[in-house]
Amino acid sequence: MQTHPAKAKILITRQVFPEVVNFLSSEFEIDYNEGDDVLTAGALRERARDAAGVMCCLTEKIDLAFLEQCVGLKVVSNIAVGYNNIDVAACTLRGVKVTNTPGVLDDTTADLTFALLMATARRVTESEAWLRAGDWKKSFALQQMLGADIHHATLGIIGMGRIGQAIAKRATGFDMTVRYFNRTRLDAATEAKYNVSYATQDAVLRESDFVLVMVPYSAATHHLIGAKEIAMMQPTAILINTARGGVVDDAALIDALKARKIAGAGLDVFENEPLFNPEFLQLRNVTLTPHIGSATRSTRMAMAMLAATNLKAALTGKTPLNCVNP
């Protein structure tokens, strides 16, 4: 009688798409958290204990305590481009591969970033709330809901990776002047391609009508934009964060918005999601969305499929496309 080797077990920690589960099911025994409740640290450890691979989201903390329990683990495949939920150094030490999903979400995230920029500048959600509240009494008034122009304004981008570049591309259609700061300056050809010019971070903060942060979160970028940086911005300027909560000091931002030290903010990410600082809700000069930067069906499908492909490669002796271990 022919015997088949047991399939390796994988844990899918959050709901994905049926196509993604099907793609993995011929190869692996799957423990699937289809109910989509965020697993507690204890439940995550328990369910991953005998797994060779984990496909997870930024809601799962893959830390030392987790790794110590899951000794058979070979790969952690994050369904996200950011991977600050994973202790990569600890994974590397234990020979656990870590993968992410870059590239497939750049345009979608750039679209949402631009949507937040436009909504905040033109007071879209504030106007809608006002209308819904029954406050629209005069059909037209010259000074009703005056906002800021987007066209011909100066856009400052801090963090000029793939998503920053996709945003710069959109800005050209609005005749914006784009200045950027990045740890490494882009080469001249790329600067020319996106029509962007390099400046110091302070100059970007001081001289932009819109400041966008687009850097990964790490100890080095924690509160990259705090009270001191916000104080450099113009009182008419708007700050946009679609990168990660923690890159901006939310308490400092709230103080600045209350005091009208800057004109507004558009935020898709917050410190301590989903329990963000409730003071944001009291402010009219903010546009708030619940971490939906990459949330279109096709992009979320592409992210989950890429994560599944990375996981499969890592467990079948191939090199995953998007390994982030050094």
Binding site for ligand GLV (CB under 6 A): 58, 80-82, 105, 293-294
Task: Return the half-sphere exposure (C-beta side, CA atoms, 13 A cut-off) of residue 151.
Answer: 2
5's enclosing H/E stretch is none
Is 122 one of the annotated active-site residues of the chain? no
Active-site residue (options: 27, 29, 191, 273): 273
Which residue, 91 or 105, has its beta carbon nearer to ligand GLV? Answer: 105
Write the DSSP symbol of residue 225.
Answer: B
Catalytic residue among 14, 244, 271, 300: 244
Burial class (CB in 10 A: 0-12, 13-18, 19+), 154: middle
Query: Residue 121's closest CA among 19, 259, 239, 290?
Result: 239
Q: CB of 80: closest distance to ligand GLV in angstroms?
A: 3
Q: Which is nearer to ligand GLV, 84 or 287 (CB)?
A: 84
Q: Which structure tokens are listed for 137?
A: 């009494």
- Asked whether the beta carbons of 288 and 265 are under 8 A apart, the reply is no
Cβ-based nearer residue to ligand GLV, 105 or 155: 105
- Does the active-site annotation cover 291? yes
Nearest approach in angstroms of CB 82 to ligand GLV is 3
| Identity of the residue, 16 or 80, whose beta carbon is nearer to ligand GLV in the bound complex | 80
CA distances from 301 to 15, 79, 104, 142, 220 (A): 11, 10, 10, 45, 31
Provide, rounded to whole angstroms, the least separation between the CB of residue 3 and ligand GLV. Answer: 41
Concerning whether 244 is annotated as a catalytic residue, the answer is: yes
* Least distance (Å) between residue 309 CB and ligand GLV: 16
Residue 60 is classified by DSSP as S
Residues serving a catalytic function are: 244, 273, 291
